[in-house]
Amino acid sequence: MNEFLDSYLNDFSKTLNNYSNQELTIDICPMRFNNPDSLLKYFYDWNSLLDCSDFDLDSLLKEHDKTDIVNQIKSQKEFTWRITHSAFSFAKIREPKWTDLYYRLSMPIFSKSREVAIIKQTRECGDDCGELMINVYLKKENKWILIAGWGYVI
């Protein structure tokens, strides 16, 4: 997991630095994936999770991968991030002001083969400002490559 997180944070920081030179803060309290049972119950076609017609998530994830992913989500315990990265500061966001800008990350979820990773992130920037992304990564030649993503802006 550390290899994935390091790669993810490197790419994430490069993307953010292209748009902003503000300090990049990540809340140490992670996000959670909601209602994991609904993934198996309602999403027979996992492609519907992504707003992307040129990518076939179902071809990447077999039935046992989907079940394993849901079980990982269900078994996640409460934790705080204990990682460091040169581009980010990790802090406990107690009572954010509407002008604060910070990010939250979920624990990455992996396929059974550990070749596919899914991570959820948000950018929080006030009462009516923010975005949520769910990104899918594939490990190719020992590198994590972003292959699909879905999100929305608030």
- Domain containing 91 equals 2-153
Q: What is the mean pLDDT of residues 72-76?
A: 81
Give the model's pLDDT for residue 53. 56
**46 or 7, greater pLDDT:** 7
Q: Is the per-residue pLDDT at 11 higher than 70?
A: yes
Q: Regarding predicted confidence, which is higher, 59 or 107?
A: 107
| pLDDT, tens only, 47-66 | 555 555 566 777 777 888 88
What is the model's pLDDT at position 51?
A: 54
Lowest mean pLDDT among 13-17, 31-35, 117-121, 129-133: 31-35
The half-sphere exposure of 23 on its side-chain side, counting CA atoms within 13 A, is 7
CB 40 within 8 Å of CB 64: no
Q: Are strands 143-153 and 130-140 parallel, antiparallel or unpaired?
A: antiparallel
pTM value is: 0.75
Q: In angstroms, rounded to a whole number, what is the distance separating the alpha carbons of residues 79 and 117? A: 19
Domain count, the chain: 1
- pLDDT at position 77 over 70: yes
- pLDDT of 26 reads 82
Provide the token pair at 145: 């490559």
pLDDT of residue 139: 93
